[in-house]
Amino acid sequence: MARREMTMADNARPAHEGEEHLEEVGAKLNWLRAGVLGANDGIVSVAGVVIGVAGATTNLIAIITAGLAAWVAGAFSMAGGEYVSVSTQRDTEKALLEKERWELKTMPHEEFDELADLYVQRGVTPEVAQLVARDLTKHDALRAHADAELGIDPDALTNPWAAALSSMIAFTAGALLPMGVVLLPVDAATRVWLVVAAVAVGLLLTGWVSAALGKAALGKAIARNVGMGMLTMAVTYAVGALFGSAVGV
Protein backbone atom coordinates (compact mmCIF):
# COMPACT_ATOMS: atom_id res chain seq x y z
CA MET A 1 0.00 0.00 0.00
CA ALA A 2 2.79 2.39 0.97
CA ARG A 3 4.65 1.63 -2.28
CA ARG A 4 1.49 2.33 -4.29
CA GLU A 5 0.95 5.63 -2.44
CA MET A 6 4.53 6.72 -3.10
CA THR A 7 4.12 5.88 -6.79
CA MET A 8 0.98 7.97 -6.96
CA ALA A 9 2.77 10.85 -5.22
CA ASP A 10 5.67 10.60 -7.65
CA ASN A 11 3.28 10.62 -10.59
CA ALA A 12 1.68 13.77 -9.20
CA ARG A 13 4.94 15.74 -9.32
CA PRO A 14 5.39 15.96 -13.10
CA ALA A 15 1.77 17.10 -13.44
CA HIS A 16 2.42 19.82 -10.85
CA GLU A 17 5.52 20.89 -12.73
CA GLY A 18 3.48 20.90 -15.95
CA GLU A 19 0.90 23.16 -14.30
CA GLU A 20 3.68 25.59 -13.33
CA HIS A 21 4.94 25.54 -16.89
CA LEU A 22 1.47 26.34 -18.19
CA GLU A 23 1.22 29.19 -15.67
CA GLU A 24 4.50 30.61 -16.98
CA VAL A 25 3.23 30.38 -20.56
CA GLY A 26 -0.01 32.05 -19.51
CA ALA A 27 1.91 34.88 -17.84
CA LYS A 28 3.97 35.42 -21.00
CA LEU A 29 0.82 35.48 -23.10
CA ASN A 30 -0.69 38.06 -20.76
CA TRP A 31 2.39 40.25 -21.13
CA LEU A 32 2.24 39.87 -24.90
CA ARG A 33 -1.47 40.70 -24.94
CA ALA A 34 -0.81 43.78 -22.79
CA GLY A 35 1.90 44.84 -25.24
CA VAL A 36 -0.48 44.50 -28.19
CA LEU A 37 -3.14 46.54 -26.38
CA GLY A 38 -0.53 49.19 -25.51
CA ALA A 39 0.46 49.45 -29.15
CA ASN A 40 -3.20 49.67 -30.08
CA ASP A 41 -3.64 52.59 -27.66
CA GLY A 42 -0.61 54.31 -29.16
CA ILE A 43 -2.02 54.01 -32.66
CA VAL A 44 -5.51 55.26 -31.80
CA SER A 45 -4.52 58.02 -29.35
CA VAL A 46 -1.87 59.66 -31.51
CA ALA A 47 -3.81 59.17 -34.75
CA GLY A 48 -6.88 60.76 -33.15
CA VAL A 49 -4.88 63.81 -32.15
CA VAL A 50 -3.07 64.34 -35.46
CA ILE A 51 -6.28 63.79 -37.43
CA GLY A 52 -8.16 66.18 -35.15
CA VAL A 53 -5.52 68.90 -35.59
CA ALA A 54 -5.40 68.19 -39.33
CA GLY A 55 -9.13 68.88 -39.41
CA ALA A 56 -8.49 72.30 -37.91
CA THR A 57 -5.36 73.35 -39.81
CA THR A 58 -3.07 72.30 -42.64
CA ASN A 59 -0.03 73.64 -40.77
CA LEU A 60 2.33 70.63 -40.70
CA ILE A 61 4.35 71.98 -37.75
CA ALA A 62 1.19 72.27 -35.65
CA ILE A 63 0.13 68.74 -36.57
CA ILE A 64 3.55 67.27 -35.78
CA THR A 65 3.79 69.20 -32.49
CA ALA A 66 0.36 67.96 -31.39
CA GLY A 67 1.27 64.40 -32.38
CA LEU A 68 4.53 64.52 -30.45
CA ALA A 69 2.76 65.91 -27.39
CA ALA A 70 0.16 63.14 -27.56
CA TRP A 71 2.92 60.56 -28.01
CA VAL A 72 4.98 61.69 -25.02
CA ALA A 73 1.99 62.28 -22.75
CA GLY A 74 0.42 58.96 -23.67
CA ALA A 75 3.62 56.97 -23.24
CA PHE A 76 4.33 58.43 -19.81
CA SER A 77 0.70 58.11 -18.77
CA MET A 78 0.70 54.44 -19.73
CA ALA A 79 4.00 53.84 -17.95
CA GLY A 80 2.92 55.69 -14.83
CA GLY A 81 -0.41 53.91 -14.62
CA GLU A 82 1.22 50.52 -15.10
CA TYR A 83 3.88 51.30 -12.50
CA VAL A 84 1.31 52.29 -9.88
CA SER A 85 -0.92 49.31 -10.65
CA VAL A 86 1.85 46.72 -10.61
CA SER A 87 3.48 48.27 -7.53
CA THR A 88 0.19 47.87 -5.67
CA GLN A 89 -0.03 44.26 -6.83
CA ARG A 90 3.57 43.59 -5.76
CA ASP A 91 2.97 45.15 -2.32
CA THR A 92 -0.09 42.94 -1.90
CA GLU A 93 1.86 39.83 -2.89
CA LYS A 94 4.69 40.67 -0.48
CA ALA A 95 2.20 41.26 2.34
CA LEU A 96 0.54 37.90 1.69
CA LEU A 97 3.91 36.13 1.66
CA GLU A 98 4.93 37.82 4.91
CA LYS A 99 1.68 36.69 6.52
CA GLU A 100 2.32 33.16 5.27
CA ARG A 101 5.84 33.19 6.77
CA TRP A 102 4.40 34.24 10.12
CA GLU A 103 1.77 31.51 10.03
CA LEU A 104 4.35 28.86 9.12
CA LYS A 105 6.51 29.98 12.03
CA THR A 106 3.79 30.26 14.66
CA MET A 107 1.37 27.49 13.63
CA PRO A 108 3.25 24.95 11.50
CA HIS A 109 0.93 22.02 12.27
CA GLU A 110 -2.20 23.94 11.29
CA GLU A 111 -0.49 25.11 8.12
CA PHE A 112 0.54 21.55 7.27
CA ASP A 113 -3.04 20.33 7.67
CA GLU A 114 -4.25 23.23 5.55
CA LEU A 115 -1.82 22.38 2.75
CA ALA A 116 -2.84 18.73 2.78
CA ASP A 117 -6.52 19.72 2.75
CA LEU A 118 -5.93 21.92 -0.31
CA TYR A 119 -4.68 18.91 -2.24
CA VAL A 120 -7.63 16.84 -1.00
CA GLN A 121 -9.93 19.53 -2.40
CA ARG A 122 -8.14 19.15 -5.73
CA GLY A 123 -9.03 15.47 -5.84
CA VAL A 124 -6.01 13.84 -4.16
CA THR A 125 -6.77 11.12 -1.62
CA PRO A 126 -6.12 12.12 2.01
CA GLU A 127 -3.27 9.63 2.36
CA VAL A 128 -1.44 10.87 -0.74
CA ALA A 129 -2.21 14.49 0.17
CA GLN A 130 -0.39 13.96 3.48
CA LEU A 131 2.64 12.57 1.63
CA VAL A 132 2.64 15.44 -0.88
CA ALA A 133 2.29 18.05 1.86
CA ARG A 134 5.09 16.43 3.85
CA ASP A 135 7.51 16.36 0.91
CA LEU A 136 6.69 19.88 -0.26
CA THR A 137 6.97 21.28 3.26
CA LYS A 138 10.32 19.58 3.75
CA HIS A 139 11.60 21.00 0.45
CA ASP A 140 10.28 24.58 0.70
CA ALA A 141 7.30 25.24 2.93
CA LEU A 142 6.78 28.86 1.92
CA ARG A 143 6.85 28.08 -1.79
CA ALA A 144 4.45 25.17 -1.30
CA HIS A 145 1.90 27.33 0.52
CA ALA A 146 2.37 30.33 -1.77
CA ASP A 147 1.68 28.14 -4.78
CA ALA A 148 -1.24 26.15 -3.41
CA GLU A 149 -2.95 28.89 -1.39
CA LEU A 150 -2.05 32.13 -3.11
CA GLY A 151 -0.98 31.22 -6.64
CA ILE A 152 2.22 33.23 -6.13
CA ASP A 153 5.82 32.35 -7.00
CA PRO A 154 7.98 34.00 -4.28
CA ASP A 155 10.90 34.28 -6.71
CA ALA A 156 8.89 35.80 -9.56
CA LEU A 157 6.98 38.72 -8.11
CA THR A 158 5.69 41.26 -10.59
CA ASN A 159 8.23 43.98 -11.47
CA PRO A 160 6.66 47.48 -11.67
CA TRP A 161 9.63 48.98 -13.52
CA ALA A 162 9.56 46.26 -16.18
CA ALA A 163 5.80 46.71 -16.57
CA ALA A 164 6.15 50.49 -16.89
CA LEU A 165 8.94 50.24 -19.45
CA SER A 166 7.12 47.64 -21.53
CA SER A 167 3.98 49.79 -21.56
CA MET A 168 5.94 52.83 -22.66
CA ILE A 169 7.67 50.87 -25.43
CA ALA A 170 4.39 49.34 -26.62
CA PHE A 171 2.64 52.71 -26.75
CA THR A 172 5.60 54.26 -28.56
CA ALA A 173 5.65 51.44 -31.11
CA GLY A 174 2.00 52.12 -31.89
CA ALA A 175 2.48 55.89 -32.01
CA LEU A 176 5.26 55.54 -34.58
CA LEU A 177 2.73 54.45 -37.22
CA PRO A 178 0.61 57.62 -37.48
CA MET A 179 3.59 59.89 -36.74
CA GLY A 180 5.63 58.27 -39.49
CA VAL A 181 2.84 58.78 -42.02
CA VAL A 182 2.34 62.41 -40.98
CA LEU A 183 5.96 63.13 -41.90
CA LEU A 184 5.52 61.94 -45.50
CA PRO A 185 6.05 64.73 -48.09
CA VAL A 186 2.49 64.84 -49.46
CA ASP A 187 -0.29 67.43 -49.58
CA ALA A 188 -2.61 67.96 -46.61
CA ALA A 189 -5.61 66.03 -47.95
CA THR A 190 -3.50 63.05 -49.01
CA ARG A 191 -1.77 63.05 -45.62
CA VAL A 192 -5.07 62.65 -43.79
CA TRP A 193 -6.18 59.72 -45.95
CA LEU A 194 -2.78 58.05 -45.66
CA VAL A 195 -2.99 58.28 -41.88
CA VAL A 196 -6.47 56.77 -41.95
CA ALA A 197 -5.32 53.92 -44.22
CA ALA A 198 -2.18 53.22 -42.15
CA VAL A 199 -4.15 53.23 -38.91
CA ALA A 200 -6.74 50.85 -40.38
CA VAL A 201 -3.98 48.40 -41.33
CA GLY A 202 -2.30 48.77 -37.94
CA LEU A 203 -5.53 48.19 -36.05
CA LEU A 204 -6.32 45.23 -38.24
CA LEU A 205 -3.01 43.65 -37.26
CA THR A 206 -3.33 44.41 -33.53
CA GLY A 207 -6.93 43.20 -33.56
CA TRP A 208 -5.87 39.98 -35.26
CA VAL A 209 -3.03 39.34 -32.80
CA SER A 210 -5.20 40.20 -29.79
CA ALA A 211 -7.97 37.87 -30.98
CA ALA A 212 -5.50 35.09 -31.71
CA LEU A 213 -3.97 35.36 -28.23
CA GLY A 214 -7.39 35.43 -26.59
CA LYS A 215 -8.76 32.70 -28.89
CA ALA A 216 -11.67 34.97 -29.84
CA ALA A 217 -13.53 35.22 -33.13
CA LEU A 218 -11.15 36.97 -35.52
CA GLY A 219 -13.76 38.71 -37.66
CA LYS A 220 -15.63 40.33 -34.78
CA ALA A 221 -12.46 41.31 -32.90
CA ILE A 222 -10.89 42.92 -35.97
CA ALA A 223 -14.14 44.68 -36.92
CA ARG A 224 -14.50 46.12 -33.41
CA ASN A 225 -10.89 47.23 -33.28
CA VAL A 226 -10.82 48.89 -36.69
CA GLY A 227 -14.34 50.30 -36.27
CA MET A 228 -13.53 52.04 -32.97
CA GLY A 229 -10.33 53.47 -34.44
CA MET A 230 -12.16 54.82 -37.48
CA LEU A 231 -14.89 56.29 -35.26
CA THR A 232 -12.27 57.96 -33.06
CA MET A 233 -10.59 59.61 -36.04
CA ALA A 234 -13.91 60.63 -37.60
CA VAL A 235 -15.05 62.33 -34.40
CA THR A 236 -11.73 64.08 -33.72
CA TYR A 237 -11.50 65.24 -37.34
CA ALA A 238 -15.04 66.65 -37.15
CA VAL A 239 -14.23 68.43 -33.89
CA GLY A 240 -11.04 69.84 -35.39
CA ALA A 241 -12.84 70.99 -38.53
CA LEU A 242 -15.56 72.70 -36.51
CA PHE A 243 -13.02 74.37 -34.25
CA GLY A 244 -10.89 75.44 -37.20
CA SER A 245 -13.92 76.97 -38.94
CA ALA A 246 -15.02 78.73 -35.76
CA VAL A 247 -11.67 80.43 -35.12
CA GLY A 248 -10.78 80.85 -38.77
CA VAL A 249 -7.64 78.70 -38.73
88-110 pLDDT, tens digit each: 989 988 898 898 889 888 888 88
Residue 194 lies in a domain: yes
Which residue from 88, 53, 56, 90 is spatially nearest to 70, judged by alpha carbons? 53
Residues in the chain: 249
Give the confidence band of 77 by pLDDT, cuts at 50, 70, 90.
Answer: very high
Q: How far apart are CA 13 and CA 213, in angstroms?
A: 29
pLDDT of residue 127: 87
pLDDT of residue 20: 44
- Please say if the pLDDT value at position 196 is more than 90: yes
- Please say if the pLDDT value at position 163 is more than 60: yes
Residue 33 lies in a domain: no
Q: How far apart are CA 245 and CA 249, in angstroms?
A: 7
Q: Name the strand (E) or helix (H) holding 244.
A: helix 218-247
Residue 32 lies in a domain: no
Give the confidence band of 11 by pLDDT, cuts at 50, 70, 90.
Answer: very low
pLDDT of residue 178: 95
Residue 247 lies in a domain: no
The phi and psi torsions of 216 (rounded to 5 degrees) equal -100, 170
| Total domains present in the chain | 1
Residue 18 lies in a domain: yes
Residue 29 lies in a domain: no
Residue 119 lies in a domain: yes
Residue 30 lies in a domain: no
Parent domain of 72: 2-22+43-242
Q: How far apart are CA 132 and CA 149, in angstroms?
A: 15
- Please say if the pLDDT value at position 3 is more than 50: no
